[in-house]
Amino acid sequence: MKYFARRLFHALLLLLAVSIFSFAILQLTPGDFFAPLGLNPQISSRTIAGLRSQYGLDRPLPVRYGHWLVDLLKGDLGQSFAYNSPVTPLLAVRARNTLLLTGTAMLLAWLIAIPLGMWSAVHRGKWGDRAAGVMTSALLAVPDLVSFLVLLLVAVRTGWFPAGGMVSSSFGDLSRWNKMKDLAEHLFLPALGLAIATLPTMLRHVRSAMIEVLEAPFIQAARAHGIAERRVLFRYALPVAANPLISLFGFSVGTMLSASLLVEVILSWPGIGPLLVDAIMAKDVYLVIGAVMLSSLFLVAGNLLADVLLFAADPRIRVE
């Protein structure tokens, strides 16, 4: 329990640091949300100054940060200038969409990586394993941006999949089953793109972790007892190989999130990504910080979850 208390404390500290940095860095960029209004001759500088003080932008940074922090404890992430509404509900919807996308992609990636990685490990050196190796190298070499654009091209050219958005415009009129289907169709390409972005690393880790375990003497001993190969793989090797994979899971949350920002923008998935880009362009400070904080929260939570899983999976960590 002490272990988790410490991890949680570290996580909170990290989030605090991220918030301070976000504030400081956004302060360093020139101009603010109301600066472009000054270009309009019909708006007086007094009006703009009034708006600034209304939204608290005229106060010094530490004061604004203090206010933001106090409001945060009440669950209020501040006000979005562009949407003229509180940031929290705006983000909540987007966060749900991003989680749906990354969650699906994560599931997809692991569902491919574990069996394929195990298969590669068992058949290492054979042509199938080599083909998989060449494939993962190729995928690693292709920048995410390119593979996402290819997916977009496929969607547009073939028309098999919707080329953007999360649901069709007629979504409201659909039956429950068709709603699911519609959502799944929209989800497929972005999720596939994300899975492709993270899959090669995972595959290689699964393969090498399995190879290492399969060569361990305890596996040989079990074989000398006449154990069935399938049982070796699933009951002996996989649980022991799970440790590095669980750590990788925590790590992959980060990769997944940063790749998801890109995939969301390119395949116009209404997640945090496009919102963040727009908010940065418009200097919608509190929305930017809210989105950054949310992404950091996901990342930290993913790693925390990996720690918990590791704790649950490995008795050695439990005793320490």
Residues that bind another protein in the complex, under the rule CB under 8 A: 125, 130, 133, 216-218, 220-227, 231, 236, 239-240, 314-316, 319
- Rounded CA-CA distance 20/250 in Å is 24
**DSSP structural state of residue 268:** T
Question: In the complex with another protein, which residue's Cβ is closer, 121 or 191?
Answer: 121
Question: In the complex with another protein, which residue's Cβ is closer, 181 or 235?
Answer: 235
Q: Which two tokens stand for residue 307?
A: 């720690």
E-strand spans in 66-143? Answer: 79-80, 85-86
Question: In the complex with another protein, which residue's Cβ is closer, 125 or 172?
Answer: 125
Sign of CA dihedral 10, 12, 15, 21: negative
- Shortest Å, Cβ 231 to another protein: 8
Q: Is 299 helix (H, G, I), strand (E, B) or coil?
A: helix
Which residue's entry shows tokens 């995410």?
Answer: 144
Angle between helices 285-313 and 2-28 (to 10 degrees): 160
- Shortest Å, Cβ 142 to another protein: 20
Backbone φ and ψ for 215, nearest 5 degrees, come out as -90, -5
Question: In the complex with another protein, which residue's Cβ is closer, 30 or 217?
Answer: 217
- Shortest Å, Cβ 139 to another protein: 18
Question: In the complex with another protein, which residue's Cβ is closer, 65 or 119?
Answer: 119
Candidates 33, 98, 92, 150; CA nearest to 273 is 98
- Shortest Å, Cβ 160 to another protein: 36
- Shortest Å, Cβ 133 to another protein: 8
